Amino acid sequence: MSSLRLIDETTATSVSSISITDVFNSDYDIYKVVAKNMDSTTEDYLYWRFINASGTKVSSSSYDYAAHYLRSYNTFTEPKETSSPEFDRFAVQDDESSDGGGVVAYVFNPYSSSRYSFLINQHQAQGSLGAIGLKGIMVLKDTSSMTGFCVYTNTGTLDSITIQTFGLRVE
Amino acid sequence: MAGKLIQVATNTVTSAVANVSLVGINTDDVYMVAVSNLVPATDDARTQVRTTTSGTADSDSEYDYAYKYFKTSTTYGNSSATNQTRWDLQEIGNATGEANNMIFYLYSFNSSSKYSFFTVEQAFLTNGAELRGYQGGGVHTVQETNDGINFSFDSGNITSGTFTMYKVV
């Protein structure tokens, strides 16, 4: 049996926000989150917030992140922020019907009530001017237990998105 | 890449140890290593990684690496070196919340005629609680069979951490 266990798969259409709840638990320390078939009405950024054990989206200014923004048509940039109310660089929203980019992210220790939650993401999309990639890291400096997460648009809506959440089992 | 992970080795450190080895590479498959909540006993200790041969860490001077260094405080840097005695992965803090988390992929470790390669993605907090991370990889330029990977710090013990190696099939 694979140690990579599918916990949840959610597909949504015509939404501006998708919440994946009750996926982080004591069975795993590390999770793999895959977002695929992503298409949007607007070219913008896709954000991330954790959802705590009370079901509340964590919007305190406790997110730090650093990303590398890789573009086929321009120079690379280094978006970064501390004490942010969300992770602003989970992905880029594609707005062409032929687009369908994806993300692979690893989430560390989200369910722990004594450790910070970390995330590493890799993303590829196609913008109006060319290929766009993101490589990023993020920490939520909050030791509360997180049980899920929310991915949402900065502007516009997602025509489609599928999010898979896997746990990395340790026996 | 295929989607199954088969656990090969794991070690959860709950009392201080000098180093951790994950051993069991015996096929030509790609292997993945996941490390969470790695904390040093000595504040600002540097994470070091080595290949293992027959379960023993290789202490030669054949480790090369190159990383992009992500920082939240300043412009990103490049970190690279050749002919080192280990793959270096920066200094981390050990105050509350400070820890090192990493995903490695290992390539050609089992081959006796090829070098051993790895890629890494890392997110950690410094001893000033600044988020930083390496993304890159390296190579051990020895044509030998390596059966695993070894973790230590340049100073002091490992206080905590969960280390798991999977075969990707």
End-to-end CA distance of chain B: 8
pLDDT tens digits along A57-111 = 999 999 999 999 999 999 999 999 999 999 999 998 877 766 778 999 999 999 9
Which chain A residue is nearest to residue B100, measuring alpha carbons? A118
CATH number at A160 reads 2.60.120
Instruction: Provide φ and ψ at B34, rounded to 5°.
Output: -110, 130
Taking CB atoms and an 8 Å cutoff, what residues of chain A touch B29?
A: none
Q: Which structural domain range is residue A155 located in?
A: 4-168
**Looking at the complex, does the CB of residue A5 fall below 8 Å from at least one CB of chain B?**
no
Q: Is the pLDDT of residue A13 over 90?
A: yes
Which chain A residue is nearest to residue B123, measuring alpha carbons? A137
Strand ranges (E), chain B: 5-13, 19-23, 30-40, 45-53, 56-57, 63-71, 77-84, 87-92, 100-107, 116-125, 131-140, 148-153, 158-168
Number of domains in chain A: 1
What are the structure tokens assigned to B42, written together?
């000595």
Nearest to A115 among B12, B99, B164 (CB): B99
- Taken in order B27, B30, B36, B41, the sign of the CA dihedral is positive
Name the nearest CA neighbour of B60 among B156, B125, B139: B139
Range 29-88 of B in CB contact (< 8 A) with A: 34, 36-37, 68, 70-72, 75-76
Under an 8 A CB cutoff, do A168 and B132 touch? no
Of the residues B33, B37, B39, B119, the best mutation for testing chain A's interface (the one with the most A CB atoms within 10 Å of its CB) is B37
Note the pTM of the prediction, 2 decimals: 0.96
What are the structure tokens assigned to A114, written together?
């004594």
- Domains located in chain B, CATH noted: 5-168 (2.60.120)
Contact B39, B159 (CB under 8 A): yes
Reported ipTM: 0.95
Mean pLDDT on A127-154: 95
**Looking at the complex, does the CB of residue B5 fall below 8 Å from at least one CB of chain A?**
yes
> Closest approach of chain B CAs to the CA of A41, in angstroms?
30
Range 125-164 of B in CB contact (< 8 A) with A: 125, 129-133, 135, 162, 164
Measure the CA–CA gap between B151 and B161, rounded to whole angstroms: 10
Which chain A residue is nearest to residue B34, measuring alpha carbons? A30
Which chain B residue is nearest to residue A115, measuring alpha carbons? B97
Task: Give me the numbers of helices (H) and strands (E) for chain A, helices first please.
Answer: 0, 12
Task: Show pLDDT as tens, one digit a residue, over chain B (169 residues).
Answer: 457 999 999 999 999 999 999 999 999 999 999 999 999 999 999 999 999 999 999 999 999 999 999 999 999 999 999 999 999 998 999 999 999 999 999 999 999 999 999 999 999 999 999 999 999 999 999 999 999 999 999 999 999 999 999 999 9
